[in-house]
């Protein structure tokens, strides 16, 4: 079954640690996105990729970095976590073909808490 996976689902970590949030998809979609969302608040695009070796920063400035070495994999890395990074991080994909709908498909998210 085609799906989007995010690991870990929950992460509590101390300040200064390096972390990598994993996102993988079996949908074969070329476009992938990372959003940051505080509880009950709007979604902010922080990174996106339209294909392998293509990554761009989104509207919301973020200290995180991403890579896209394989189509199905889009990890997000924080070199030195800080309490201000505490949030939910959502990964999403979009199909290459326009089709009737142009929706994005979201993974379950990673809830990050930095102490």
Of 16-24, 66-74, 79-87, 97-105, which segment contacts other proteins by CB under 8 A?
97-105
- DSSP assignment of 11-62, as one string? EEE-TT--EEEEEEESS--SEEEEEEE-TTS--EEEEEEEETTEEEE-SS--
Single residue of 2, 12, 41, 60 touching other proteins by CB under 8 A: 41
Of 14-22, 36-44, 67-75, 76-84, which segment contacts other proteins by CB under 8 A?
36-44
Does 53 interact with other proteins (rule: CB under 8 A)?
Answer: no
């Amino acid at each position: 079954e085609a799906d989007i996976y995010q690991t870990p689902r929950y992460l509590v970590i101390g300040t200064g640690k390096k972390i990598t949030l994993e996102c993988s998809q079996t949908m074969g979609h070329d476009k992938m996105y990372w959003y940051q969302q505080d509880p009950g608040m709007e979604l902010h695009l922080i990174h996106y990729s339209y294909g392998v070796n293509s990554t761009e920063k989104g509207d919301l400035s973020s200290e995180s970095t991403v890579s896209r070495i394989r189509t199905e994999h889009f990890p997000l890395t924080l070199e030195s976590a800080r309490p201000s990074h505490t949030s939910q991080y959502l990964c999403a994909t979009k199909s290459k073909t326009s089709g009737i709908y142009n929706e994005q498909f979201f993974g379950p998210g990673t809830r990050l808490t930095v102490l």
